[in-house]
Structure 1
Amino acid sequence: MNHAQATTTLEAVLAANPRDGGAWSMLGHLLRRAGKLEGAIACHRRGLEVAPANAGIWSNLGNALVEAGRFDEALTAHAEALRLEPDTPAFLFNNAVALRKAGRFKDTLAMIERAATGGTATPELRWAELRWERALARLQIGDYVHGFADYEARRGLASYHGRPPSERAWNGSPLDGRALLLFTEQGFGDAILAARYVPLVKARGGRVLYECHPELRRVLSGLDVDAVLQPGSPPPAFDVEASQMSLPGLFGTTLASVPPPVGLTIPEASRRKAAHRLGAPEPGTLRVGIVWSGRVTFADNGRRATSLARFLRFAEVPGVRLYSLQKGPPEAELADSGVAGSLVTPLGPDLDDFADTAAMLEQLDLVIMTDSSVAHLAGSLGTPVWNLVQHVPYWVYGFSGDRTPWYPTMRLFRQGPDQDWEPVFARAADALRDEVRRRTGR
């Protein structure tokens, strides 16, 4: 039964019996899956009017509230579900997810421990899901030793789309001439992040077969590998294999031992294109790149991204010229805004791959953006980048402070627990005025 059919069926059930709390909650679940969060929340609350002791409805309400970013209400709902049914595995897991997304990592780890050791809870709850949540919490607080061990649990998740685990997994030991298939997973930014480990892999003394997205092929062409493969294509013969995103764990990375970013390759053709498009720098003016959204298909993009309109306040700062590096569907906001070519120079149409983007970044003074693969690219280049990040961001940015050991030239501007972008952009605008004064004396 598809979404529309299921919705129609539930609406008929509720028309016949508006006091069916379970049907209300099932409708709320369908609305949440469709991204209609306010309707979902209202349906779950309607269900609780007639079935206030139904722990499942409380937990479903908590899940919808988490997705809506209403964390205090969500945690209250999950606590009520556990008061009614203290040992139900799904409710323990849902509460742990809510705690992590609210940034309460100590409580998250305690809830995961409770779920893992809570009597009847353990057999019913998938261990991979628990370990994955524990990995994210541990990495966020900088516990890389234990976090990267748990990070391997991702390969047991139903949502995992990379190569399945095999008996030929590499353990990081010397290769002694063996062929290692280093396969890619996750997004462009993850591939750039992990590329810093390729020289360390090569030093293990083997042949490296490196999967690389076509969009990254030119900018990562300087890596010392023995073959570059198209992701998803049948690989040549190999002896052992590893995911690129497993490399931090395989090399025992800690906060104090993060390797420097990989050196990138910028072809001269891309540099010529950038020089022609940007022209000569204007004395006394900062050229500032902007990006307001990552890949729209990324599940958490709605929380980490924002709109072009917020970035236009930077055009108000004297001595600043804005250049859009945005790609994908959000690029249309620039054409719709009426400021393309006047307040913001659109570079997106000139960017055919990440090598072209790198060439543009090389010519800019600063990039201000919400988190996406361009942040990893700019950080690897050494271009100053101000990354405006959500309350609980990607784990490489930790949970406090304005710096990350992964990218020395990156400055972080963080949302508070209220997840409000306004104060983040206000701080960034003030910092930009200071930066203009520092660099130009204006």
Structure 2
Amino acid sequence: MTTMLRPGDSGYDQELAGFQTAVPRRPAVIVPAASATDVVEAVRYAGEHDLPIAVHSTGHGVGVPFEGGVLVTTRNMTGIRIDGDIARVDAGVRWGAVIEAAAEHGLAPLSGSFPDVGVVGYTLGGGFSLLGREYGLAADRVTAIEVVTADGGLRRATPDTEQDLFWALRGGRDNFGIVTALEFRLVPVTRLYGGSLRFGTESLAAVLRAWRDWAAEAPREMTSSLGMVPMPDLPMVPEPLRGQHVAQIRIAYLGDAAEGERLVAPLRAAAPVLGDTLAEIPFTESGKIANEPPFPHGYRADNATVSELNDTMLDAILEHAGPDAPVPTVVLLDLLGGALSDVPEHPGVGWDREARFTVRALSVVDDASIAEIRSAHGKLFEALKPWSTGKLLTFVYGESDPAEEAPEVYSTADLRRLAKIKKAVDPANRFRLTHNVEPASDAG
């Protein structure tokens, strides 16, 4: 019989713990799954007891607080197999393990900025990669998904079988079942020119405009983002950056280092550089580009995709999320376009392929109250609204009313199709402890 943990049991709190610490959850039962069979048993148990059910791998993208129900954890499902250019990974695998395994074959996955993120949740949200402008979304390279649906059945969804489910999972995430394994194509990358340039508080306005102008001419082989990061005035922070509101330009270029140096020269000239880590590196070191904090913490985040970054928008970003903002906020601007705008042979749920940038805002809960964070983020995105084209579900963290998110994330047509598929595979809305897509009504 599959192990089941209840509040008060030894190991319950450890199994519940994850990277995101600010979203309270207290399931009635936790099932630490070690296999697809364990997941099947957990889903059938939830059905027999009329309980909602959710899934948790690394806990990075936890967006919804809940109490009661069943939580399946997949951290113990860590199998990886590579056959040719296809990787098959179990539900608990993190990107760092795939990066290392693929490198032995001269290949790389479409992983993101932080190797400790779980593969499945990232990919089902679209998967915005360090290699995205050259190779597209991680979701677009998926070839098969094994998933346990609400009836307790283990299905295999591919472009040729379970086509609706294959579409819905890649963007609809955990609304339709619990993925137990994912198969996807790797890419022939072993090295890149990458790293970051960092600039101080006085340079923020100049660097924002320089990066925006530079990005307009960036080739497809260049993926880049700009982070605005308030650095604490603490001894652990390197002296040049301590207490600064840092602008960090992140670079991942799939070309030779000499051409990379030429391409980034205008950015180096934009303002005095406080830190420069740009170099040719093996892809196994790609996590060093952003160098994001590895320790669990509590945060709230939201985002918008936008059609441009004009001066009015950059001024609003500085006003609402810069050094004088009422709530300390990390902002990330991602350059889109390139392969991210191409329509693949088997697209998932509508990614905004017309958008030019994303604007993401994240604040640590310890630095401000949830109400203060929500208010501050709201003012920022309200200011950007005239140019906003939507938002990405994968970068919405910690909102307490998930029902509000689906209409903002999905187009009307996609939401209607998702609701019909939901009705077919989960008519009782068992998988509702998420940013929920409700089953279509009989009238719909």
TM over 0.5: no
Q: Quick check: which one's strand share is greater?
A: 2
TM-score w.r.t. the length of structure 1 is 0.25
Q: Which has the higher contact order (CA 8 A, sep 6+)?
A: 2
If you compute each CA radius of gyration, which structure gives the higher value, 1 or 2? 1
Q: Quick check: which one's helix share is greater?
A: 1
